[in-house]
Amino acid sequence: MSRTVYAERTITITRHFKAPRDLVFKAWTDIKHIQEWFGPEGFTNPVVTGDAKAGGTVHITMHGPKGTPFDQDFPCTLTFREIVPGEKLVFENDAPAPDGSVMIEGRTTVTFSDEKDGTRMVMETTGRALHEMAKGHLAGMEEGWVGSFNKLGRLLEK
């Protein structure tokens, strides 16, 4: 059975964090940390459950800023396919549509390496819109991830 892909987008973002590599990696794999930084600026994560391990799944419910068009829940699922501690994460990231089908499917690879005064993190992610309404989400994908990484940077400074 073939399915329609309404849009596809791949982005790569490289960031330097003034924090040890193990701490940056832990921020991606400890659900307490994920709850603090995941999602665009202004979004919160009222629900983060699961286990970030190879074969494990983390369920995240992001909620947009109050009083905006994004003042609603945005659930997503991260299914971890490969974990090399301190070095690499590979996960599938899916977002459901209101009818329960997959609205956006994605695959993300994040690598971590030591760099002078901290950690170099490189994230490459591809998203596919499987519903027409998801095209707008892909259009804002880079802005959303940049906001997430700004929040991650602030968390790592604590």
Per domain, the residue ranges of the chain are 7-19+52-63+71-157
CA distance 1 to 23: 43
What pLDDT band is residue 2 in, cutting at 50, 70 and 90?
A: low
Determine the pLDDT at residue 90: 98
Mean per-residue pLDDT over the chain, rounded: 96
When the candidates are 3.40.50.300, 3.30.530.20, 3.30.70.20, 3.40.50.2000, the CATH number that belongs to 7-19+52-63+71-157 is 3.30.530.20
Buried/exposed code over 87-121 (b: 16+ C-beta within 10 A; e: otherwise)? eebbbebbbeeeeeebbbbbbbbbebeeeeebbbb
Query: Using one digit for the tens of pLDDT, what is the confidence trace for 142-154?
Result: 999 999 999 999 9
d(CA 75, CA 77): 7
pTM beyond 0.85, yes or no: yes
pLDDT tens string 56-100 = 999 999 999 999 999 999 999 999 999 999 999 999 999 998 888
